[in-house]
Amino acid sequence: MAATLTRGLSGLLRPLSVLGRDCLRLTQTPRFSTLCQRHGSKPLPAVHTAAPLQQTGLLKLVTPLIPSLMLQPVRNLTYYSLRKGKRKSVKSVVQRFLRLHCGLWVRRKAGYKKKLWKKSAARKKRLREHVFCNKTQCKLLDKMTTSYWKRRNWYLNDPYQKYQDRVNLKV
């Protein structure tokens, strides 16, 4: 357990070395090797108590930096994945839009739950509507999702079932 904690923290400690905390790293590394050896033979309670005291101190110093600097969102579209060589869908698109089988994409209006107190009733009603995307947006969203999201689904009691096909469409 302590070994996994240290493995997780080693990822966080690497950028700290840029700030010049080599002394901490030097003190940490012998403990890593001793921990690994100990973990290999038998887990001793003394080892578990010694390591976390140092690590919780480090965690307190590191936690304010974690969300903003370390974890940047990845927005790229993966054309060929590393493991399977397949195309991947962009998750943000799947979480925000609905694709109808006829090719239309449905979305919510931006700001439909924000600052409603200052919006008129008509404006709130307009924002509550579900709207379609235009042709360029649909083409973009089609490129960002795989064919799985374009398949026909037969859900039970689907509120969007009757919109999956176009009716009375004149070209």
Partner 1 sequence: MSLTKTTAGKTIDIVKNLPRITLANLRPNPGAKKDEKHRGRGMHGGNKSGRGHKGERQRGNRPRLGFEGGQTPFYLIVPKYGYNANHSRRPQYPPLSLRRLQYLIDLGRVDPMQPIDLTQLVNCRGVAIQPLKRDYGIQLIDEGADIFSAKVNLEVQVASEKAIAAVERNGGVITTSYYDPRSLQILIKPVPFLMSGDPIPKRLLPGEDLLPYYTDASNRGYLADPDKVQAARLGLAKKYGYTIPDITREIFFEMLVQRKDPRQIFFGLSPGWVVNMADKKILKPTDDKVLQYYGNMKSL
Binding residues for partner 1, rule: CB under 8 A, are: 75-77, 90, 92-98, 106-108, 110-113, 137, 140-141, 143-144, 149, 151, 153-156
User: Tokens 């709130």 identify what position?
Assistant: 124
Cβ 71 to partner 1 shortest distance, Å? 16
Element (H, E) at 23: helix 22-41
Which lies closer to partner 1 via its Cβ, residue 22 or residue 158?
158
Which lies closer to partner 1 via its Cβ, residue 47 or residue 94?
94
Which lies closer to partner 1 via its Cβ, residue 83 or residue 152?
152
Q: Do the Cβ atoms of 95 and 68 come closer than 8 Å? A: no
Cβ 121 to partner 1 shortest distance, Å? 20
Cβ 168 to partner 1 shortest distance, Å? 18
Q: Do the Cβ atoms of 111 and 127 come closer than 8 Å? A: yes
Cβ 69 to partner 1 shortest distance, Å? 19
Task: Give dist(CA 166, CA 170) in Å, integer.
Answer: 10
Cβ 3 to partner 1 shortest distance, Å? 34
Which lies closer to partner 1 via its Cβ, residue 49 or residue 153?
153
Which lies closer to partner 1 via its Cβ, residue 42 or residue 114?
114
Strands of 130-132's sheet, edge to edge?
Answer: 98-99, 105-108, 130-132
Task: Give dist(CA 43, CA 34) in Å, integer.
Answer: 11
Report the first-to-last Cα separation within the chain, whole angstroms: 65
